[in-house]
């Protein structure tokens, strides 16, 4: 049992079985979260849970890795997938290089407006890009983004 607070990320592997439920812990405040599911790179894993707070300064005009298969880099996940967040000032242009061959990237705009590979996006828009080595993000306004790099073919 636990509470996820602002700037925290949780990972969970259901593995061989887990019981899970969620509820807003506050009777007065609105809860806003983003929940995604990624197939693991193998089946029959032991259930596990981890949660960590990330310093917002670590994503100021740069990509902050939140979860990846690289031990010690961020929260560990069982897949060649990378979750990154960036908070970019208006007018800033930044690239995101795809880390794993054959992966694509799904971008989700938390706040602001930007253009990704020529596609204009606004708050709460999502955009997928694949068959590329990198994407280019141009922040039109102050923009907060989540990038989810995932395999485009399920190898598991």
Structural domain tally of the chain? Answer: 1
Confidence of residue 155 (pLDDT cuts 50, 70, 90): low
> pLDDT of 43-82, one tens digit each?
888 888 899 999 999 999 999 999 999 988 899 999 999 9
Residue 134 corresponds to which tokens in the numbers above?
Answer: 């990198």
Domain that holds residue 93: 8-151
101 located within any domain:
yes
Question: For the chain, what percent of residues have pLDDT higher than 70?
Answer: 97
CA atoms in the 13 A half-sphere facing the CB of 141: 9
> For 4-16, what is the mean pLDDT?
86
Query: To which residue do tokens 């253009």 refer?
Result: 115
- In whole angstroms, give the CA distance from residue 87 to residue 101: 26
Q: Please state, in angstroms and rounded to a whole number, the distance separating the CA atoms of residues 154 and 151.
A: 7
Task: Say if 64 falls within a structural domain.
Answer: yes
Structural domain contains residue 35: yes
Tell me, yes or no, whether 29 lies in a domain: yes
pTM: 0.92
CA dist., res. 5 & res. 97, Å (int): 29
For residue 100, which of 64, 73, 69, 78 has the smallest C-alpha distance?
A: 69
The pLDDT value given to residue 121: 98
CB atoms within 10 A of CB 8: 14
* 28 in any annotated domain: yes
Number of other CB atoms surrounding residue 100 within 10 Å: 14
Domain-embedded: residue 1: no
Domain annotation covers residue 3: no
Check if the beta carbon of residue 82 is closer than 8 Å to that of residue 149.
yes
Rounded Cα distance between 61 and 87, Å, is 6
Residue 123 forms part of a structural domain = yes
Terminal-to-terminal C-alpha distance of the chain: 30
Residue 49, domain CATH: 2.60.120.10
Please check the confidence at residue 156 and state whether its pLDDT lies above 60: no
């Amino acid at each position: 049992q636990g509470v996820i607070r602002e700037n925290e990320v949780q990972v969970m592997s259901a593995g061989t079985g887990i019981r899970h439920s969620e509820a807003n812990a506050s009777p007065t405040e609105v809860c806003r979260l983003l929940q995604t599911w990624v197939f693991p790179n193998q089946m029959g894993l032991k259930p596990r849970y981890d949660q960590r707070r990330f310093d917002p300064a670590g994503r100021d005009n740069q990509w902050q890795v939140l979860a990846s298969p690289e031990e010690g880099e961020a929260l560990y996940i069982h897949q060649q997938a990378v979750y990154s967040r960036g908070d970019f000032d208006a007018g800033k242009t930044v690239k995101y290089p795809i880390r794993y061959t054959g992966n694509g990237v799904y971008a989700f705009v938390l706040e602001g407006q930007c253009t990704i590979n020529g596609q204009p996006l606004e708050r709460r828009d999502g955009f997928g890009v694949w068959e590329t080595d990198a994407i280019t993000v141009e922040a039109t306004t102050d923009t907060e983004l989540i990038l989810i790099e995932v395999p485009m073919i399920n190898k598991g």
